[in-house]
Structure 1
Amino acid sequence: MTVRRPHRTARVLAVTAATAALAAGLTACGADAGDDTRPEHRSFALQGRTLTVDSDDSALELVPADGDEVKVTRWFQGSTVIGSDPRTTWRWDGDEDRLTLRLDCSGFIADCSSRHRVEVPRGVEVVVRTDEGSVRATGFRHGLDITSQDGSVRIGNSAGPLRVRSDDGSVKATGIDARQVSVRTQDGSADLDLRTVPDRVDAVSDDGSLDVALPGSAAYRVSSHTDDGSVRVSVPRDADSAHRVTVRTQDGKVTLRTAN
């Protein structure tokens, strides 16, 4: 007698196809933290004059504000089909003035998006360490030290010493009055627009074009180089100048020009 077995293979294929279709649908939708109409708010007492923000998988916006507390607003959207519910956490270490932001979004089909706005008391230096997510900082008059593993960095109207490191993402800084500027990217372009004559600028990239605009009211001691690309220098030059500018990339165009 012949025993007929259920068509298990067909059922597996049907389930797989349905799952793939569901995954494609969720991917097409895409979670957007901007859709969160009820963001959460927290405040933390700052003890010193340096704030450290340690973030993972979130877009960051940093702005100076009045008061003596760090104020954080969080937007979040997320879902998983199979797995634990997504969640975001914030932790404050008062001994180190460190704000840690984390997003846990794991599962068979996970779709999450988070964004944080951090209001920093005026006169405070800011250190940012982020593994994944864009960073935007505007209006700081003291030091900014930003390291991004994966995400763009945008800085506007900054006056303190500026240090930016990006492993994978572009850097754009405009309205910069800093005397000391250091920007390094491994894979991404850098676009810097300075409106005050700097003492020292270092812009280095492994793979990306570099565009640096400087005030034309001074001459600069320039060092520029690219292994694969063009070099254009149109700022006033003086080999003995106290204003030193180094612009180097391995693969990309180098432009050093007078600011408009």
Structure 2
Amino acid sequence: MLEGNRVSRISVRGFAVASATAVTTVGAVVGVASGDVQSSSDNNFEAAAADTTLLADIPVGQQAQVASAAVAQQADVQAAAADEAAKTQAEQSARLKAAADAKAKKEKADEAKAAKEKAEKAEKEAKEREQVEEVANRSSRDTGEVSFEQKSSYTVAEVKAMARQIVPAGQFQCFSNIVTRESTWNYQAQNPTSAAYGLVQSNPGSKMASVAPDWRTNPATQIKWGLNYMNVRYGSPCEAWSFWQNNHYY
């Protein structure tokens, strides 16, 4: 009997050591979650040592029940650790999703704001053009009454000569730069994609009728309208040319 008890106690101690190892492993997992690995491991070893002493004193007939209870307790600890890990992961995922949603919402708001500002700018420019053209139509004859002989057609040299008589000398080169790029001094130039017409590409060309009804065939009419448009909208042909260089339209 003494020898049998000795074997039983050794077996129990072996089971306790195995239990301690399992508990230590679980404790390490819990310790990582709590930020205190060393403390959790020490506590588990102490608990295992206590269990070793306790199991060694348990009668052989009850050791199976104690073993089952120990395994169940370990399973509970492992399940709690798994639940805690899952909870932590879920919280982290929720934070990441919230951050991503906030970023997407901000980007969408920024895009909407940019689109709105662009639309408002375009609308403002369109209104300004309408106002300028309205003023130009009312005051187009203020550029001076210079008369020219009516002809059936005009050469580029003749058209430029007209412009030199209408446009102030200090503004002529800027005026010429714009006309060169808009129509190459062709007073019958027709834009293929819009209703723009003539030397200064009035859009539509009929706006130049505010100067005279012969706007289709008379370069002088077109020059007067274009000069007045540049003066009213930009202040002068040179200021209009400066705008054209930055935007490729005026």
TM-score range, shorter chain: under 0.3
Q: TM-score, normalised by structure 1?
A: 0.23
**Structure with a larger share of its residues in helix:** 2
**Structure with a larger share of its residues in strand:** 1
Q: Which has the larger radius of gyration?
A: 2
Q: TM-score, normalised by structure 2?
A: 0.24
